[in-house]
Amino acid sequence: MNQETVLVTGGAGFIGSNFLPFFLERYNKYHVINLDSLTYAGDIKNLSEIEDNENYQFIKGDICEKNFVLELFRKYNIKHVIHFAAESHVDNSIKNPLAFAETNVMGTLNLLEAARKSWMDQPFQYKEAYKNSRFHHISTDEVYGTLGKEGFFTESTSFAPNSPYSASKAGSDLLVRSYYHTYGLNVITTNCSNNYGPKQHDEKLIPTIIRRAISGEIIPIYGNGQNIRDWLYVLDHCKAIDIAFHKGISGETYLIGGHNEITNLKIAETICNILDQKVPRKTSYHSLITFVEDRPGHDYRYAINPAKITSELNWKADETFETGILKTIEWYLDKYLGEGTN
Ligand code: NAD
């Protein structure tokens, strides 16, 4: 079979490692190369289920290395890019903003340049063999800044990033946009709300709550716990990426969210309720919830109106928060209590 090679960057991270098994299972027509530098956030063990898949190949490498990236496109005849790789943790971006600019801005620019040089003869003129080649950039709703109690982000909301993380993602989104307008590169950007599910790094909110709860440690919640995020089960995000990659209109942006606005405190309480039933202890897990000093510049609320991807591309979330959080807790209990193979 004549397979096309898709370069997936950052596939050993949380979302990428959920996306790759799903994508490989769904399509036989692609050879998928996962380019990941395996920072602290990447874990190759998250991909053990596909390591023997003949349509899959892992390459350890850094998207910030311009010549290496360009050579990779040539050597493996890359036809499409699905770009997840990023520095992604807001707290780390407050401590070390430079790494965020390097990977998220310069790394994305290196990939765009490699795609442009490999796929195009000149602006708006694709080489025949690459005429369907697409660059899909994965981004976040955090580029839009923060909301008050009312309203939703849409594709026409102005960028107003508030952390070095979201500012660097906004920079990368704008570079992707510029490659469409300046060179005619076939790009698409999806901006998703907060994801949760299996394989997320231990330091993130939901794994932290579960891990600390079952080890009897305090469950730290920033400020008064009233910050609101719009939570989406990671596999629903993967399904949206698949649809946007295949059916989205070139140059367009699609926001992805499942209308699950929940405060951080409510997340902690929901998890404690479930743990109280599944792995009861003498005193309820609720007693471990502890408010700690707020994150500087902590955005109050994110919420997405996903009307465009729903009506134009026919995507909708399959999981509710209730079903998704149960699956998630079961996965982490398996991991942390060592009852299974995870
Ligand atoms: P993650 O931090 O879990 O994974 C990032 C991956 O990128 C890791 O495997 C890491 O090793 C790799 N990486 C980092 N720097 C690299 C470099 N210079 N070269 C090659 N690989 C490198 O992130 P995630 O949560 O899976 O997020 C993936 C993408 O989705 C990011 O672009 C993020 O902005 C976006 N996003 C995340 C969320 C979320 O809730 N997690 C929501 C919306 C959008």
Residue 319 annotated in active site? no
According to DSSP, residue 3 is labeled: P
pLDDT band at 341 (very low <50, low <70, confident <90, very high): very low
**236-248: pLDDT as tens digits:** 999 999 999 999 9
Distance from residue 103's CA to the centre of ligand 1 (Å): 10
Residue 141 annotated in active site? yes
**290-336: pLDDT as tens digits:** 999 988 888 899 999 999 999 999 999 999 999 999 999 999 999 99
Residue whose CB lies within 8 A of the most ligand 1 atoms, among 7, 9, 14, for a mutation test:
14
Q: Please name the residue ranges forming H helices in 45-163.
A: 66-76, 90-95, 97-100, 108-119
- DSSP for 235-296 reads HHHHHHHHHHHHHPPTT-EEEE--S-EEEHHHHHHHHHHHHHHHS--SS-GGGGEEEEPPPT
Sorted by where each begins, the domain ranges of the chain are 4-198+231-258+303-318
Identify residue 167 by its one-letter amino acid code: A
Residue whose CB lies within 8 A of the most ligand 1 atoms, among 39, 81, 165, 196, for a mutation test:
39
Establish whether residue 173 lines the binding site of ligand 1, counting it when its CB lies within 6 angstroms of any ligand atom: no
Establish whether residue 206 lines the binding site of ligand 1, counting it when its CB lies within 6 angstroms of any ligand atom: no
**22-72: pLDDT as tens digits:** 999 999 999 999 999 999 999 999 999 999 999 999 999 999 999 999 999
Contacts of range 334-338, beta carbons closer than 8 Å, 24 or more positions apart: 336/210, 336/211, 336/214, 336/215, 337/214, 337/279
Mean pLDDT in residue range 265-277: 97
Identify the burial level of 92 via C-beta atoms within 10 angstroms of its C-beta, where 0-12 means exposed, 13-18 middle and 19 or more buried: middle
4-198+231-258+303-318: CATH homologous superfamily?
Answer: NAD(P)-binding Rossmann-like Domain (3.40.50.720)
Contact 298, 236 (CB under 8 A): no
pLDDT band at 340 (very low <50, low <70, confident <90, very high): very low
